[in-house]
Amino acid sequence: MTSSFDVLNPATEEVVRTVPLTTAEETDAAIARAQAAFPAWRDVTPGDRARLLRRFANAVEADIEHLARLEVANSGHTIGNARWEAGNVRDVLTYYSAAPERLIGKQIPVPGGVNVTFQEPLGVVGVIVPWNFPMPIAGWGFAPALAAGNTVVLKPAELTPLTAIRLGELAREAGIPEDVFQVLPGKGSVVGQRFVDHPGVRKVVFTGSTEVGKQIMAGCAAQVKRVTLELGGKNANIVFADSDLEKAAATAPYGVFDNAGQDCCARSLILVQASAYDRFMELLEPAVHGVVVGDPGDEKTEMGPLISAAHREKVASYVPDDAPVAFRGSAPAGPGFWFPPTVLTPPDLRHPAVADEVFGPVVAVVPFAEEADAVRMANATEYGLSGSIWTRDAGRAFRVARGVEAGNLSVNSHSSVRYWTPFGGFKQSGLGRELGPDAAAAFTETKNVFLST
């Protein structure tokens, strides 16, 4: 029997909508429809597929305010962030709408003939999305997959299905055939697991925790199924004494507290050169007190609530009564899953807030002596997703950027995602890359044909 899930507004704890949960049988039926729809979608001419993706992008553009308000209600994202996220789906669709006409092979003269290569779509692609960025992460999977000629089944996180459901409607309005792009709200252990186990799904794109990512990879290995993994991160914000300390301190809260710290790229470890440590902390304190926490629908709000009561409990476990709190911002009392921006100064590098991802508005600040120490401390984790380097010395910026084992680094900035450029992790932060010029090709196989002359 189909059961349902009450989607809560994390800022008010009120039910926003009740969504039916897709069963394993319904998932199998959806995969079968996606398989049946594949040959016709593959054969749509590149120009027509490009046009359909641009129409989808235009439909998203026309719906941005609605999508953004839906995300505010479902995920507690600030309205400014939610508008950016919906706009990102539009931009990523537009960017990959150029791919169908550019996914061309090579011709390679060889002794006795010529080889011609083709970039063939895979078939059905399963995209599994976490709750922290429901719109962009969905788009990073489905846009290049559709562009390359695959059909897509998409599973949003159980907690945050509403914008994904709306994106499914917009795709249909734009003329994308119903079975080419299907959104299946439901549980990871049911719908997501079928994407992994069902032999009709040729590739799984998973974004989520490293723990579940390892299970997905093991499950896919059983069928040599293609997989892209975007997993957790423990990212250092390295501040050198020669940097613009005012700017580094003023932007550090954005680097970690944006989206209430529920960001795989959150810079939740700030490493500050010892000679600048006291000054940096002096500057950081008013910046943290200045973070506006409250109603995410208010244009002035900079940080909303956490996603759920259970997640707030997990984040709170990093700040017990005897935690080394340097200072904290404020948060509403409730209802809602609020947590104040919190700065810790742990004396011991083995403190859980130094070592773990946290995934909430908690940051640990730790001093370092020399450049090599900063690189060593930033790399003392099995994650390798992102990080920032603040310095006025360009040589040092590149030395440190080359030394830090992470996929996405920024110098004098906390920007991690630019859709024109590849995004993904080193070590246990993931496998493969999304976005950028090569992502559509990652949804194809190279076929090599020899023509004897």
Contacting residues for 79 by C-beta, under 8 A, at least 6 apart:
68, 69, 72, 296, 297, 298, 299, 301
Contacting residues for 21 by C-beta, under 8 A, at least 6 apart:
2, 3, 4, 5, 158, 185, 186, 187, 190
CB of 48 to ligand TAP, least distance (A): 31
Binding status of residue 153 toward ligand TAP by CB under 6 A? no
CB of 386 to ligand TAP, least distance (A): 9
Query: Which positions from 349 through 368 interact with ligand TAP, judged by CB under 6 A?
Result: 357, 359
Beginning with the edge strand found earlier in the chain, give each strand of the sheet holding 201-207 in spatial order. 181-183, 151-155, 124-128, 201-207, 226-230, 430-431
Strands 201-207 and 226-230: parallel
Binding status of residue 126 toward ligand TAP by CB under 6 A? no
Task: Enumerate the active-site residues.
Answer: 230, 264
CB of 256 to ligand TAP, least distance (A): 13
Binding status of residue 264 toward ligand TAP by CB under 6 A? yes
Binding status of residue 207 toward ligand TAP by CB under 6 A? yes
Q: Which is nearer to ligand TAP, 93 or 129 (CB)?
A: 129
Q: Which is nearer to ligand TAP, 172 or 187 (CB)?
A: 187
Binding status of residue 131 toward ligand TAP by CB under 6 A? yes
Binding status of residue 85 toward ligand TAP by CB under 6 A? no
Query: Which positions from 379 through 418 interact with ligand TAP, judged by CB under 6 A?
Result: 385
DSSP codes, 263-305:
-TT---EEEEEGGGHHHHHHHHHHHHHT--BS-TTSTT--B--
Q: Which is nearer to ligand TAP, 280 or 359 (CB)?
A: 359
Residue span 272-311 as binding mask against ligand TAP, x where in contact by CB under 6 A, dash where not: ----------------------------------------
Binding status of residue 183 toward ligand TAP by CB under 6 A? no
Per CB under 6 A, the list member of 232, 294, 384, 387 interacting with ligand TAP is: 232
Contacting residues for 133 by C-beta, under 8 A, at least 6 apart:
85, 259, 263
Whether 198 and 221 have beta carbons less than 8 Å apart is answered as no
Q: In angstroms, how far is CA 355 from the centroid of its own chain?
A: 21
Q: Which is nearer to ligand TAP, 96 or 133 (CB)?
A: 133
Q: Which is nearer to ligand TAP, 281 or 306 (CB)?
A: 306
Per CB under 6 A, the list member of 60, 231, 236, 389 interacting with ligand TAP is: 231
* Residue number with the smallest Cβ distance to ligand TAP: 188
CB of 158 to ligand TAP, least distance (A): 4
Task: Give Cα separations from 378 to 72, 183, 191, 257, 384 (angstroms).
Answer: 33, 38, 36, 19, 9
Binding status of residue 188 toward ligand TAP by CB under 6 A? yes
Whether 233 and 409 have beta carbons less than 8 Å apart is answered as no
DSSP codes, 129-142:
--SSSHHHHHHHHH
Per CB under 6 A, the list member of 53, 72, 129, 176 interacting with ligand TAP is: 129
Binding status of residue 212 toward ligand TAP by CB under 6 A? yes
Contacting residues for 411 by C-beta, under 8 A, at least 6 apart:
388, 389, 390, 391, 397, 401
CB of 136 to ligand TAP, least distance (A): 9
Binding status of residue 133 toward ligand TAP by CB under 6 A? yes
CB of 229 to ligand TAP, least distance (A): 8
CB of 28 to ligand TAP, least distance (A): 15
Binding status of residue 426 toward ligand TAP by CB under 6 A? no
Rg (alpha carbons) of the chain, rounded to whole number: 23
Per CB under 6 A, the list member of 430, 435, 443, 444 interacting with ligand TAP is: 430
229-256 burial by CB neighbour count: b if 16+ within 10 A, else e? bbbbbbbbbbbbeebebeebbebbbebb
DSSP codes, 172-219:
HHTT--TTTEEE----IIIIIHHHHH-TTEEEEEEES-HHHHHHHHHH
Whether 232 and 210 have beta carbons less than 8 Å apart is answered as yes
Q: Which is nearer to ligand TAP, 294 or 430 (CB)?
A: 430
Residue numbers at the binding site for ligand TAP (CB under 6 A): 128-133, 137, 155, 157-159, 187-189, 192-193, 196, 207-209, 212, 215-216, 230-233, 264, 357, 359, 385, 425, 429-430
